[in-house]
Structure 1
Amino acid sequence: MNDQDKVLKYLVSVEKLANEILSDKREIILLDKRRNHNREALRDLTKSCQLKCWMTVGSILIKNDVEVTKNLLEADQKQLSIDINKLRCDLKVKLNDLRDLEMQPPVPGLMLVPMSHTEMQGLTKAGLFSED
């Protein structure tokens, strides 16, 4: 394999990973917009004093009970949050992989996670952290 083939293979792998990162970012934005629309709909339903409401499923309008619709929207909210968090975690890994391919150091602090409740309690008991 000559140098040109190696360079071409390297550039293809970098471009492929960069395109995956960009498509994941776009997907996160679209899912977040959908989550905001659901949040707005839930807020309107909680303000409403009606027993029935109209909702769209694809291109079909359906008249449904408000409580059933709220439950559907809340379940959709939970699933959207799970999907967004999964994409964000995968995005961090892909970004570090891209930086490895570009021979750059990883982004400092990118993989940080918050401390758990038990870790916080341990620090508090040891006197290293106060909850004031």
Structure 2
Amino acid sequence: MESFDVETQKSYTYLKEVETVAQDILTLKDMKLELSNAQNKFREALRAIEHSDERTVWMKEGSVYIQRPRQECLIFLRKEIEKSQDDITGLQNSIKDKLNELRDLEHEPRIVGFGLKPLSIREAKTLHKAFGSA
């Protein structure tokens, strides 16, 4: 009877670990989605200000609207877009790590090619020069 309790406890512990990692993955995906939505709003605001002829722009900071110079707002929005992109990249890497951890817990092989990264612009240009345009 005691071995049954030990085996049951091991099963519960294993399931708890798997569910915890899976929940972490879902939480990270939700955070990534929220950041992507915020980044899109920053891009929309940036485009609107770029196409505006106004010298000053109203920006909302917290619950207060403040009038700021147009160029200052453009710089701020570009920095926010860059920061959100860095945060999204960090979350993508965390998701990949958690997914690998989950697959290890489930005794599944890691996904081949899951860690691939896109070519940089410089690398793409070099390949384009090396192979020529078709």
Please tell me the TM-score bracket, short chain as reference: 0.7 to 0.9
How far, CA to CA, are the matches of 1:112 and 1:42 in structure 2? 31
For 1:114 and 1:50, locate their aligned partners in 2 and report how far apart those are by CA, in whole Å: 39
Matched, 1:7 2:8: no
Runs ≥4 residues deviating over 2 A:
113-118
Q: Which amino acid aligns with 1:130?
A: F
Unaligned runs of 5+ in 2: none
Tell me the SS of whatever aligns to 1:56.
strand
Question: By how many angstroms is 1:113 displaced?
Answer: 2.5
Higher relative contact order (CA 8 A, sep 6+): 2
Q: Are positions 1:131 and 2:115 aligned together?
A: no
1:89 maps to 93
Partner of 1:33: 37
Higher mean displacement: 65-74 or 104-113: 104-113
RMSD: 2.3
Structure 1 counterpart of 2:6, one-letter code: N
SS at match of 2:87: helix
Is the deviation greater in 45-54 or in 1-10? 1-10
> What displacement does 1:2 show?
1.1
1:42-79 Cα distance to aligned partner (Å, 9 max, x none): 00001000001111111111111111111111111110
Counterpart amino acid of residue 15 in structure 1: E
- 1:56 aligned to which of 56, 60, 73: 60
TM-score, scaled to structure 1: 0.87
Unpaired stretches in structure 1, ≥5 consecutive residues: none
Equivalenced residue count is 128
